Structure 1
Amino acid sequence: MSKKRAVILVSGGLDSTTVLAMAQSQGYACYTLSFDYGQRHRAELFAAERVSRVLGDVEHKVVTLNLDSIGGSALTDADIAVPEEETAGIPVTYVPARNTVFLSIALGWAEVLGAEDIFIGVNAVDYSGYPDCRPDYIAAFETMANLATRAGVEGNKLRIHTPLMAMGKGDIIAAGLALGVDYGLTVSCYQATDEGLACGRCDACRLRARGFVDAGVDDPTRYA
């Protein structure tokens, strides 16, 4: 009997790598999807390919988007500095509509593959205030997905899986380690060097470092 197929959004970071390991542990044949969207931290693309290969995906696809052409985020506009202190509200590292764009393309590939499951590593506990990481958003997108696709109309219910939604960073790391994840392969930093060295100061670095402390394990992150 062939495995059920699933599309896994993989950024090369800690969360999405854990989600990939979880999907594989549930018996899915995993098709990993990453985006070259004009992000300044391009080391994550190499990390995404690396973790997909090491964890054993069926196919890894990189889709090119030019979200930097509209800007509006410190991650896509070189004129907006990545903050190195905690900020209130939605931070400037929020990329306008990013998860909506990413999930829409994942939805299209899922239809092509005949996959009914999409996994994404969004989190509503240790997250940076992004509106497209909330449970209500994911539920609304899943409803839309089943209204807007041939698969949904023909009765093949599409599901958006968010296994990390209610987990803290320490719990995520513990779960990944139990599944054999090597977090030294991952890159989370918003301004990582091309070699994947982390700044240790941005919001993503702070959350990641705190997670390893909470998990009670050594931090394998390579810092600049």
Structure 2
Amino acid sequence: MTTADSSALVVFSGGQDSATCLAWALSRYERVETIGFSYGQRHAVEMECREPIRQALARLSPLWAGRLGPDRVIPLNVLGEVSVSALTADLPVAGSRLDGLPATFVPGRNLVFLTFAAIVAFQRGLKRVVTGVCETDFSGYPDCRDDTVKALQTALNLGMNARLVLETPLMWIDKAETWTLAETLGGNALVDIIVQETHTCYKGDRSTRHDWGFGCGECDACRLRAAGWQRYSRLRSEEVEDLPSR
């Protein structure tokens, strides 16, 4: 029987970052469960990507298959009703709000997600909650910052008399390094899964296939993902060129 120290709950949206985090957790912990949130997001297609990604990761490694536990989806439509954003309403995804934050910022989203994830982890006896938030390459969301996550971890532990750890494996790496991390964890096979199966586009576009995956190619999420892929691909090419010839 595994201990709490060898288990984790991954906040899993179906996007590139959370899929990489799921692989990261499966490579470290003996029991890994996942949780997702349906909050009225306009890119709800990401929810349809979640289970195919879980199954693809299980097929990729017998060890990961044995470690992958149950998934649960929490309905949070009320968040989309009270937190108006270009991700929860038919508004332009480009530009900024009146307060200067990105139009796609959903106020309180990560705070709510991590709070519900912490409740589930606490009830399930899981020590860690893994999330793919990042301060290096992000769209300017204040709830993705390291200070925010650390403050919330303190509040959650005080409020539940717990010792939970909010893990953020992507916090200090950029999108190119996230692609590299995926390759390190699962080789080209994992990179291919992330390209083909994950969804990041804010507009929910899965009609257009790019080298880096599906998306409109214009929203902030697509631009970050594409730029990271280009840099990752360039670095890989340079590494190949630097190999000594036989």
TM-score (norm 2): 0.80
Unaligned runs of 5+ in 1: 218-224
Alignment map for 1:39-188 (pairs within 5 Å): 39-56=41-58, 57-66=68-77, 67-78=79-90, 80-83=91-94, 89-150=100-161, 152=162, 157-180=163-186, 181=190, 182-183=193-194, 184-188=196-200
2:38–2:76 CA contact under 8 A, matched in 1? yes
Could you tell me which residue of structure 1 aligns to residue 203 of structure 2? 191
Report the 3-state secondary structure (helix = DSSP H, G, I; strand = E; otherwise coil) of the residue aligned with 1:216.
Answer: helix
Identity of aligned residues (%): 39
1:69 partner letter: E
2:153–2:166 CA contact under 8 A, matched in 1? yes
Picking from 197, 211, 217, the partner of 1:200 is 217
Could you tell me which residue of structure 2 aligns to residue 5 of structure 1? 7
Q: CA deviation at 1:30?
A: 1.1
1:43–1:195 CA contact under 8 A, matched in 2? no
Tell me which structure has the larger Cα radius of gyration: 2
Unaligned runs of 5+ in 2: 59-67, 209-213, 235-246
Report the aligned-residue RMSD. Answer: 2.1
2:206–2:215 CA contact under 8 A, matched in 1? no
2:207–2:215 CA contact under 8 A, matched in 1? no
Q: For 2:144 and 2:14, how far apart are their aligned partners in 1? A: 17
Q: For 2:30 and 2:136, how far apart are their aligned partners in 1? A: 26
2:11 partner letter: L
Report the 3-state secondary structure (helix = DSSP H, G, I; strand = E; otherwise coil) of the residue aligned with 1:95.
Answer: coil
1:52–1:60 CA contact under 8 A, matched in 2? no
Q: CA 1:194/1:61 → structure 2, altered by over 3 Å: closer, same or farther? A: farther
Q: CA deviation at 1:50?
A: 2.0
2:173 partner letter: M
Q: CA 1:53/1:64 → structure 2, altered by over 3 Å: closer, same or farther? A: same
Q: CA 1:130/1:209 → structure 2, altered by over 3 Å: closer, same or farther? A: same
Q: For 2:71 and 2:217, how far apart are their aligned partners in 1? A: 29
1:51 partner letter: I
1:71–1:77 CA contact under 8 A, matched in 2? no
Q: For 2:224 and 2:206, how far apart are their aligned partners in 1? A: 21
TM-score (norm 1): 0.88
Q: For 2:101 and 2:33, how far apart are their aligned partners in 1? A: 31
The structure where helix makes up a greater share of residues is 2
Q: CA deviation at 1:102?
A: 0.3
2:85–2:106 CA contact under 8 A, matched in 1? yes
